[in-house]
Amino acid sequence: MLLTSAFLIPCSLFKLQKMWSLTDISSAIHNWLNQTFNPTWALIIEMVIAGIAVIGLFAVLGLVLVLMERRVAAWMQIRLGPNRVGPFGLMQSMADTLKLLVKEGMTPDGADKFLFNLAPFIAMMVAMLLMAPIAFAKGFQLWDMNIGVLYISAVSSIMVISILMAGWASNNKYSLMGAMRSGAQIVSYELSAGLSILTIVVLTGSLNITDIINAQADGWWVFKGHIPVIISFVIFIIAVTAETNRAPFDLAEAESELTAGFHTEYSGMKFALFFLAEYINVFIVCAIGATLFLGGWMPFHIGHWEAFNHAMDYIPSSVWFFGKTFFLIFVIMWFRWTFPRLRIDQLLNLEWKYLLPISMFNLLLATAVAILGWHF
């Protein structure tokens, strides 16, 4: 009886793992398309399916993260949060989405109509481009490129263009001021975020996302990289919180000063696209942080503990990835409801006087650790 139970439990875990395997699903679709269509049409249809899947993921993430934000805020402030629409308030996000869908979109008279309408779409396009190199599970990526980290750093810097475009095209002084603040903030904190990422690149010796994840098979970098990686991880979380314009670094949207900042004049679906892009960007930066510092989809392993490591391998890789990502999202939301908003001079002083010098010194320290082989 004991032998039967010991056999059935691993078998059931294996079936569960196969059921959650995104790689098997993508392989089945790929094989069916190549058997049914010629290679050109199969590739085109795969790209269309991938685009629809990303859009669907955006929609789900928007609903989930908005509800999560409200629940975390309520928990921090010892209150209930959404509890009226649907069971336990689960339909509140859908009600808000429906409201934005039926709301009339207004364009100011003095605005540059083309740029005003283009800005929110650029924000969403940048978010879609950033999804390409992220490994959601073992062997499950839209595009496994050899310069994945460089691609992410380059494409993410385009986001500031949509914000500056929205602020200038609105013909509103509050929008313009918010856009200028956001531009200065994003450009400043990109330096520290980039140097933090370079620490992992130096230790791994590769810009490829898959190589970085595989290098953490014997331990995540945040554990085996010693002090340089811990410093980089803390600076990365602070920098990406500022880059995504979230409190306590939300000077670009300070309601008490700028009446919402760069999207003051936006309403309806155009506002919804900016709102959605903010939460998608939070998911993306947390996914990047989870990939670089916490092993991405890689399970948690401890040295030569074979039994423990084998048990961890039964948990699907997609569960590991999304679990780590949502943990970092929770941390960023925790920041919002814990710290007061900084002034703009304090915000820039923090970057240029503290984070940037520390990041530069830390990169040199990480280089020494990599050359001397002091990491585990």
Q: What is the 3-state secondary structure (H, E, C) of the chain?
A: CHHHHHHHHHHHHHHHHHHHCHHHHHHHHHHHHHHHCCHHHHHHHHHHHHHHHHHHHHHHHHHHHHHHHHHHHHHHCCCCCCCCCCHHHCCHHHHHHHHHHHCCCCCCCCCCHHHHHHHHHHHHHHHHHHCCCCCCECCECCCCCCCHHHHHHHHHCCHHHHHHHHHHHCCCHHHHHHHHHHHHHHHHHHHHHHHHHHHHHHHHCCCCHHHHHHCCCCCCHHHHCHHHHHHHHHHHHHHHHHHCCCCCCCHHHCHHHHCCHHHCCCCHHHHHHHHHHHHHHHHHHHHHHHHHHCCCCCCCCCCCCHHHHHHHHCCCHHHHHHHHHHHHHHHHHHHHCCCCCCCHHHHHHHHHHHHHHHHHHHHHHHHHHHHHCCCC
The pLDDT tens digits for 313-324 are 889 899 999 999
Domain boundaries, the chain: 22-102, 107-372
Least confident window among 9-13, 170-174, 255-259 = 9-13
Is the pLDDT at 255 greater than 70? The verdict is no
Average pLDDT over residues 67-75: 92
pLDDT level of residue 262 (50, 70, 90 thresholds)? confident
Is the pLDDT at 258 greater than 70? The verdict is no
Is the pLDDT at 9 greater than 60? The verdict is no
The pLDDT tens digits for 94-108 are 898 888 888 888 888
Average pLDDT over residues 199-226: 90
pTM of the entire predicted model: 0.89
The pLDDT of residue 16: 44
pLDDT level of residue 297 (50, 70, 90 thresholds)? very high
The pLDDT of residue 12: 43
pLDDT level of residue 110 (50, 70, 90 thresholds)? confident
Average pLDDT over residues 216-235: 90
Is the pLDDT at 64 greater than 70? The verdict is yes
The pLDDT tens digits for 272-286 are 888 899 899 999 999
Higher pLDDT, 367 or 245: 367
The pLDDT of residue 245: 83
The whole-chain average pLDDT of the chain stands at 86
Classify 86 in phi/psi space as left (phi over 0), alpha (psi -120 to 50) or beta: left
pLDDT level of residue 109 (50, 70, 90 thresholds)? confident
Average pLDDT over residues 327-341: 91
pLDDT level of residue 303 (50, 70, 90 thresholds)? confident
The pLDDT of residue 13: 42
Average pLDDT over residues 169-194: 88
The pLDDT of residue 21: 64
The pLDDT of residue 214: 92
Share of the chain above pLDDT 70, in %: 91
The pLDDT tens digits for 11-50 are 444 444 444 567 778 888 888 988 888 888 988 998 899 8
pLDDT level of residue 2 (50, 70, 90 thresholds)? very low
Average pLDDT over residues 6-13: 40
How far apart CA 315 and CA 296 sit, in angstroms, is: 13
Is the pLDDT at 256 greater than 70? The verdict is no
The pLDDT of residue 28: 86
The pLDDT of residue 111: 87
Is the pLDDT at 330 greater than 90? The verdict is yes
pLDDT level of residue 325 (50, 70, 90 thresholds)? very high
